[in-house]
Structure 1
Amino acid sequence: MSNWLEVPASRRVRFGTAELRADAERPGGWLLTVNGIAQSYVDLDDPTFLELEYVRYLGYVVDALEPSDAPLDAVHVGGGGATFPRYLSAVRPGSRHLVIEADEALAEFVDEHLGLRSVPGLELRLGDGLTEIGSLPPASADLVIADAYEGLRLARGITGAAFTTEVARVLRPAGVYLLNLVGARHNLDAIRALFPHRALLDGDVFADYNGNQVLAASRVPLPLEAMRQRTGQAMPPARVCVDTPE
Structure 2
Amino acid sequence: MIVRSLIAEAVGMFPITSISVSRTRKPEPVPGRYPVRFGTAELVRDTGRGNAWLVSVDGVAQSYVDLDDPAHLEFDYVRRFADVVDRRPPGPLDALHVGGAACTLPRYVAATRPGSHQLVFDADGELVELVRAQLGLRVPGLRVRVTDGREGLATRREDSADLVVVDAFERATLAGGLATLEATRAIAGILRTGGTYLANITDGSGLPFARRFLATLFEVFPEVLLLADPGVLRGRRFGNLVLAASAAELPTEELTRRTASAAFPARCVYGAELRKLAGRAAPITDADAPPPPKPPDDLLGLF
TM-score per shorter chain, which class?
over 0.9
Deviations 1:150-179 (A, max 9, x none): 112111111112211110110001111100
For structure 1, the residue ranges without an aligned partner over 5 or more in a row are none
**Alpha-carbon distance in structure 2 between the residues aligned to 1:97 and 1:104:** 18
**Alpha-carbon distance in structure 1 between the residues aligned to 2:13 and 2:166:** 28
**Matched residue type, 1:193:** E
- CA shift at 1:209, angstroms? 4.9
- CA shift at 1:183, angstroms? 2.3
Flag the structure with larger Rg: 2
Is residue 218 of structure 2 the alignment partner of residue 198 of structure 1?
Answer: no
Is residue 68 of structure 2 the alignment partner of residue 49 of structure 1?
Answer: no
Of stretches 236-245 and 218-227 in structure 1, the one that deviates more from structure 2 is 236-245
Q: Please, which of 92, 109, 118 is the counterpart of residue 113 of structure 2?
A: 92
Is residue 20 of structure 2 the alignment partner of residue 3 of structure 1?
Answer: no
**Matched residue type, 1:197:** E
- Figure out how many residues of one structure are paired with residues of the other and give that number: 243
**Alpha-carbon distance in structure 2 between the residues aligned to 1:214 and 1:66:** 20
Q: Please, which of 97, 101, 107 is the counterpart of residue 80 of structure 1?
A: 101
Q: Please, which of 53, 57, 69 is the counterpart of residue 34 of structure 1?
A: 57
Deviations 1:10-38 (A, max 9, x none): 21111111111011101110000000101
- CA shift at 1:233, angstroms? 2.4
Deviations 1:76-116 (A, max 9, x none): 00011100000011111111110001110010011110102
Deviations 1:184-204 (A, max 9, x none): 432223322111211111124
| Aligned partners of 1:47 and 1:83 also within 8 Å | yes
Q: Secondary structure at the residue paired with 1:241?
A: strand
- CA shift at 1:205, angstroms? 6.3
**Mapping for residues 127-166 of structure 1, pairs under 5 Å:** 127-166=147-186
For structure 2, the residue ranges without an aligned partner over 5 or more in a row are 1-6, 17-30, 280-303
Is residue 132 of structure 2 the alignment partner of residue 114 of structure 1?
Answer: no
| Aligned partners of 1:205 and 1:237 also within 8 Å | no
Is residue 243 of structure 2 the alignment partner of residue 215 of structure 1?
Answer: yes
**Matched residue type, 1:237:** P
- CA shift at 1:5, angstroms? 2.6
- The structure whose residues are more often strand, as a share, is 1
By relative contact order (CA 8 Å, sep 6+), the higher-ranking structure is 2
Q: Please, which of 45, 58, 78 is the counterpart of residue 81 of structure 2?
A: 58
**Matched residue type, 1:43:** D
Q: Please, which of 254, 259, 280 is the counterpart of residue 231 of structure 1?
A: 259
**Alpha-carbon distance in structure 1 between the residues aligned to 2:15 and 2:71:** 25
**Matched residue type, 1:58:** F
| Aligned partners of 1:205 and 1:239 also within 8 Å | no
Identity across matched positions, percent: 44
Q: Secondary structure at the residue paired with 2:47?
A: coil
Residue matched to 2:191? 171
Q: RMSD of the TM alignment (CA)?
A: 1.5
TM (norm. structure 2) is 0.77
